């Protein structure tokens, strides 16, 4: 059988996943980086700033839409490199 549609590789997740409990979120103890997309119309920049601050993230900001990885791949690669170098 040849599989070429993305849906062919997708499997349903179990309802048990809804009952999972996280006792120690990683963002509370591990360093994190956040790339704010200032032109995002899905997640308002103010909400992005709040989430980044809550997580104690190192923040970078770029004028981009919600699909920042498509429109600004260099900015995404840069923050990944920065995070990797810090670890």
Q: Is 56 inside any structural domain?
A: yes
Report pLDDT digits (tens) over 15-70. 777 788 888 888 888 999 999 999 999 999 999 999 999 999 999 999 999 999 99
Distance CA(1)–CA(6), nearest Å, equals 14
pLDDT interval class at 2 (50, 70, 90): low
Query: DSSP string covering the chain, please?
Result: ----SGGGG--PPPGGGGG---SS-GGGTS--EEEEETT-SSS-HHHHHHHHHHHT-EEEEES--S-HHHH-HHHHHHHHHHHHHH-
How many domains does the chain contain in total? 1
Q: Is 83 inside any structural domain?
A: yes
User: Per-residue b/e over 26-54, b at no fewer than 16 CB within 10 Å?
Assistant: eeeeeeebbbbbeebeeeeeeebbeebee
Residue-number span of the structural domain to which 47 is assigned: 31-87
Q: Is 15 inside any structural domain?
A: no
């Amino acid at each position: 059988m040849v599989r070429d549609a993305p849906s062919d590789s997708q499997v349903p997740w179990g309802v048990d996943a809804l009952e999972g409990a996280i006792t120690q979120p990683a963002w509370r103890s591990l360093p994190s980086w956040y790339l704010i997309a200032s032109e995002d119309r899905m997640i308002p920049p103010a909400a992005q700033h709040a989430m980044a601050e809550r997580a104690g993230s190192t923040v970078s900001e770029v004028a981009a839409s919600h699909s920042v990885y498509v429109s600004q791949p260099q900015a995404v690669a840069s923050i990944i490199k920065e995070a990797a170098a810090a670890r």
